[in-house]
Amino acid sequence: MLTETLKELCALPGVSSCEDAVRDYIRAITAPYADRSYTDTLGNLIIEKKGVSPGTKKVMLAAHMDEVGLMVHTITEDGYLKFRPVGGIDRRVLLGKPVLVGKQKLPGVIGLKAYHLTSGEEARSIPKLTEFYIDIGADSREEALRHVSPGDIVYFDTDILEFGHGFLKAKAIDDRIGCAVMVELLKEPLPMDCTFVFTVQEEVGTRGAFGAAFSVTPDIALILEGTTAADLPEMESHQKVCLPGKGPVVPYMDGGTVYDRELFELLRTLAERGHIPWQTKEFLSGGTDASAIQRTKEGVRVAAISAAVRYLHTPSSVASLEDCQNILILARRFLQAVATME
């Protein structure tokens, strides 16, 4: 079920500030299992579920619904769309990628000056974002404006594919994997009361998590995420960060957070005792909603479990399905352990 839920979530559009389709899907699929479900002012979906006991700690689980994408800002006289990134996107991967534009899901392709027309210097450099455009097949600004407006969101049109030895290729694995794990946990009996927060706008500054944590006010927060894997041939071993297929990633620190030491050790112990393969980051990079949650009010104890994802923030990211399943198992055991804390 986890794999199918993940695939369905990755197929949905959810660029930062336009997470509606993802939120509607999660609300519908979790409705039979929720004791209370509501959407806050920013758009975070907050779901409360009672467990076997209230527990001594207020626990929040968090995963972000949004994905990186693009936004139309100008339409040229020739009918091409100029755009800005929403979230951190590597412009090297944009050329030739199919996209869908706006609520109408208008198909388009990201274009650039033809290679045979570039100078030697241009051919050796990475194009600037201002040099790219989206071709929607319009032959004038007037025609394009009948279908598209500045401010329209653009998301990548990517096929979802299982391939190789248990790998999944899809857009938005960061962080639909965290969302999928939380959906599956909501379907199960819980050892204690928990609040599940599906956050918005993580990719543009962890904005949703800050507001949600302020209202939920948890004692402990577990963040479920996707994180950078750089296990590529040209990388030194210490720069590979983490490896898909080698188990969930349990970070002790990243670019935005130093995680609670006791909770880090708890996750490590649970993994080792349960014979769950696990790893930590060998190169500190990136950040999660934990950076916002940790600093809420008097402070929140935070821990994270992540999937190692290749080609993060591109139209075709790659993760291990076995890792995803092990994240679910480890998160389940974490809740069981926290339920017995004094």
Residues with a known catalytic role: 202
Q: Peptide bond preceding 175: is omega within 30 degrees of 0, i.e. cis? A: yes
- Say how many CA atoms lie within 13 Å of 85 toward its Cβ: 19
Q: Is-contact 200 65, C-beta < 8 A?
A: yes
DSSP assignment string, 141-157:
HHHHHTT--TT-EEEE-
Query: Left, alpha or beta for 233 (phi > 0: left; psi -120 to 50: alpha)?
Result: alpha
In DSSP terms, 63 is beta-bridged to: 198
Q: Is-contact 221 62, C-beta < 8 A?
A: yes
DSSP assignment string, 101-150:
ETTTTEEEEEE-S-GGGS-HHHHHSPPPGGG-EEE-S-SSHHHHHTT--T
Distance CA 82, CA 72 (A): 6
* DSSP code of residue 10: H
Contacts of 276 (CB under 8 A, 6+ apart): 247, 248, 270, 326, 329, 330
